[in-house]
Amino acid sequence: MFAYRHAFHAGNHADVIKHAVLLDCLSRLQSKPGALTLIDTHGGAGAYSTDSGLTRNKAEYKTGLGRLWGMRLDKMPEMIANYIRVLRGLHGESTTLSTMAGSPLLMAQQMRPQDHLTAFEMHPTDAPLLKQNLERFGRRAQLRASDGFAGLRALLPPVSRRGLVLMDPSYEIRTDYGKALASLREATSRFSTGCYVLWVPIVARLEVERLVRQALALPVEERLHLRFQVRRAGADGLGLMGSHLIVLNPPYGLQRACEEVLPWLVTQLGQDESAGCEIRLQEKKGGPKPPSLNNHQRVSRVDASRLSRGSSRVPSRG
């Protein structure tokens, strides 16, 4: 426990898809004036310097956010442009990527006066860092240095009756998979209309498919399943291959936006011919709809042709 530090992975492909979708959900929910309760059950440190020893160690951002940072915003889908805009707003003057905001800071930055954020973080080093990073938002953004799986239920249903919850565990220990499901099950039973975003790694573990399947069976009105893969497993069968994002009660328009964004991201962040994406919407009444997009093959070919030209951006690890 506590070996995981998000700084090692900040800005990687998983952060890109997760943060872009999170911000998109937030802005769609903010199209209505009512107050929003924002909850981040696993907050991390809130901000990460590309210059710190931990981040430099693996430099995962170079094959994620680093590939998008210098691009023109009008050359990318609006969801990604919005994400880069928010990040740049939190960034200093320098055009070189030097600081990367994490999920609680991104949400806090986009809060309106009527919104409120609670972020959980248990790590003895990262919790004080997150507290410091949220200080400027005053009482509207609070840190709880306690267990986010267990603490979520006490915040639900929110007085505002409108909420967005990000659950982004480190899955450092296998029991996190079961805890994530139990916590979400309890949360949705108390507040079934909230919007929940659950991140699950694509790694070679039995627990992954089980959690995805069970989260998609939770009794809410709609569930959106996004699958975004950038590479195959390493030679040892290990390593992060990509992300599942399960969005319970996705805001209107999110699915359509993802249909544009995910294939584009595959072409930008894909690392080998196994890169691809899938988008699937399930509604409560009736069975699962067929995938709205499964361009694994098509996008893989696009990516493979780029790699065969000898792109210097092909990394050895994700």
- For the bound state, the minimum distance from the C-beta of residue 127 to ligand SAM, rounded and expressed in Å, comes to 8
Angle between helices 13-29 and 78-90 (to 10 degrees): 100
- For the bound state, the minimum distance from the C-beta of residue 51 to ligand SAM, rounded and expressed in Å, comes to 18
Name the DSSP class of 149: H
Span 254-313, contacts to ligand SAM by CB under 6 A: none
| Binding-site member from 61, 69, 120, 228 for ligand SAM (CB under 6 A) | 120
For residues 103 and 110, which CB has a smaller minimum distance to ligand SAM in the complex? 103
Under rule CB under 6 A, residue 11 binds ligand SAM: no
Helices (H) and strands (E) in the chain, counts: 11, 11
Under rule CB under 6 A, residue 121 binds ligand SAM: yes
The gap from C-alpha 87 to its chain's centroid, in whole angstroms, comes to 14
Mention every residue, 6+ apart, whose C-beta is less than 8 A from residue 287.
none
Q: Which two tokens stand for residue 263?
A: 């294939």
Catalytic residue, chosen from 126, 168, 236, 272, is 168
Alpha carbon distance 60, 9 (integer Å): 6
Under rule CB under 6 A, residue 147 binds ligand SAM: yes
> For residue 163, which amino acid is it?
G
| Binding-site member from 148, 194, 242, 276 for ligand SAM (CB under 6 A) | 148
Under rule CB under 6 A, residue 170 binds ligand SAM: yes
CB atoms under 10 Å from CB of 297, counted, come to 9
Residue facing ligand SAM at closest CB distance: 102
For residues 122 and 181, which CB has a smaller minimum distance to ligand SAM in the complex? 122
Q: Which one of the spans 119-127, 222-230, 231-239, 304-312 is the region binding ligand SAM (CB under 6 A)?
A: 119-127
Alpha carbon distance 139, 143 (integer Å): 10
219: preceding bond cis by omega (within 30 degrees): no
Residue 225, Cβ density class (10 Å: 0-12 exposed, 13-18 middle, ≥19 buried): buried
Under rule CB under 6 A, residue 122 binds ligand SAM: yes
- For the bound state, the minimum distance from the C-beta of residue 229 to ligand SAM, rounded and expressed in Å, comes to 18
Under rule CB under 6 A, residue 6 binds ligand SAM: yes
Cα maximum dimension of the chain = 55
Under rule CB under 6 A, residue 126 binds ligand SAM: yes
Under rule CB under 6 A, residue 168 binds ligand SAM: yes
Under rule CB under 6 A, residue 115 binds ligand SAM: no
Q: Which residues of 153-183 are buried (b: 16+ CB within 10 A; e: fewer)?
A: eebbebeeebbbbbbbbbbeeeebbebbbeb
Is there a catalytic annotation at residue 176? no
Query: For 165, phi and psi rounded to 5 degrees?
Result: -120, 125
| Binding-site member from 25, 39, 42, 108 for ligand SAM (CB under 6 A) | 42
Number of residues that bind ligand SAM (CB under 6 A): 21
Span 86-105, contacts to ligand SAM by CB under 6 A: 102-103
| Binding-site member from 149, 191, 196, 228 for ligand SAM (CB under 6 A) | 149
Query: For 73, phi and psi rounded to 5 degrees?
Result: -65, -30
Residue ranges that bind ligand SAM, judged by CB under 6 A: 4, 6, 15, 18, 40, 42-44, 102-103, 120-123, 126, 147-149, 168-170
Q: List residues with catalytic annotation.
A: 168
